[in-house]
Amino acid sequence: MTEVNDHKSQSHWAQSFARFRRDKLGLASFAVVMIYFIIAILVQLEIVGSGWDDFVDPMGFSPPSKEYWFGTNFNGQDVFTRAIYSTKVAFQVGITVSFISVFIGAIIGSAAGYFSGSALDEFILWLNGCIDAIPYLLFVAAISFILPDSNTSMYIALIATGWVATCKYMRAQAIQYKNYVFVEAARAMGSYDLRIILRHILPNTAPLILIEITINFVGAIKAEAMLSFLGIGIKNGISWGIMLAEATSEIIAGHTNNFLSASLFMFVLVIAFNMFSDALQDALDPNFQK
């Protein structure tokens, strides 16, 4: 039985990989995402972007040149270096929030679906409804204000809201799987409920979990940009959202370096990741609908 299931699993992933390879747009978008990821790694290793807060231009507001590709801001800081460094921040937020929130949502959603109709399921549905009833940005901003003034508060705020959507989809999947033959067989063999959820239900929803991670990644990046723009996101650092906030006063004076660089970097990454997510979704589960 196990060998058959393993063979079917390998066959599914092989077929999904083959479908993804045929998607030229998906491959191109994945290549763009990987370029951004490599930049984030280089920044983490302090090979590039380490001087994002250096005051390199005493005059400030220098136009684009060979020395400063995107010019400098009002403080005389290199805009291109700040945009490059912000790539690392975007990936830190995206990876941390997406993986943790999807993990929480997958566990809670699977438990709710497996015990559908129970008091646990009713409580989780009530909690989901409460979070959904509050405007997303307002809820995240409220948590960020309540918690200490640090980057951790933003991560907690994004994770506290990011798990809900995954929980709903996982609950629906678990309700279907709990009546399947392989789950009934495991139950008949004496497997306890937690083992069935972790060993049989969650592995069979791996494609959905992977899709949810890519979707939450983009959502986390955009949410961080909004929060940082409002002054309740990244603290003691730099991000595309902070650069856009700085640009609000600079644009009035006719300086668009910050605005264009931050917008361009974020736009390309979000668009590429969205296309990659769509291609991955089509490859893993052509019948899956959001």
Whether 61 is in a domain gets the answer no
User: Could you tell me the residue range of the domain that residue 23 belongs to?
Assistant: 2-49+70-284
Residue-level pLDDT at 53:
81
The residues near 222 (Cβ < 8 Å, ≥ 6 apart) are 270
User: How many distinct structural domains can be found in the chain?
Assistant: 1
The rounded average pLDDT for each run of 10 residues, N- to C-terminus, in the chain (290 residues) is: 46 77 89 95 89 78 82 84 93 94 94 90 92 79 73 85 90 87 80 83 86 91 88 84 86 82 93 90 64
Q: Which token pair is 226? A: 């909004």
Domain CATH for 236: 1.10.3720.10
Whether 116 is in a domain gets the answer yes
**Cα–Cα distance measured from residue 198 to residue 74, given in angstroms and rounded to the nearest whole number:** 54
Residue-level pLDDT at 254:
76
CA count, 13 A, side-chain hemisphere, 242: 19
Give the number of other CB atoms < 10 A from CB of residue 22: 11
Whether 33 is in a domain gets the answer yes
Residue 62 has what DSSP assignment? P
Whether 289 is in a domain gets the answer no
The residues near 219 (Cβ < 8 Å, ≥ 6 apart) are 98, 162
Residue-level pLDDT at 161:
86
Whether 110 is in a domain gets the answer yes
Whether 148 is in a domain gets the answer yes
Alpha-helical (H) ranges within the chain are 2-21, 24-44, 79-114, 119-133, 136-146, 151-177, 181-188, 193-196, 202-204, 206-230, 240-252, 257-284
Burial of 65 (0-12, 13-18, 19+ CB in 10 A): exposed
Q: What is the pTM of this model?
A: 0.85
Q: Within the chain, how many helices (H) and strands (E) appear? A: 12, 0
**Cα–Cα distance measured from residue 290 to residue 282, given in angstroms and rounded to the nearest whole number:** 12
Residue-level pLDDT at 7:
45
Whether 9 is in a domain gets the answer yes
Whether 13 is in a domain gets the answer yes
Residue-level pLDDT at 290:
45
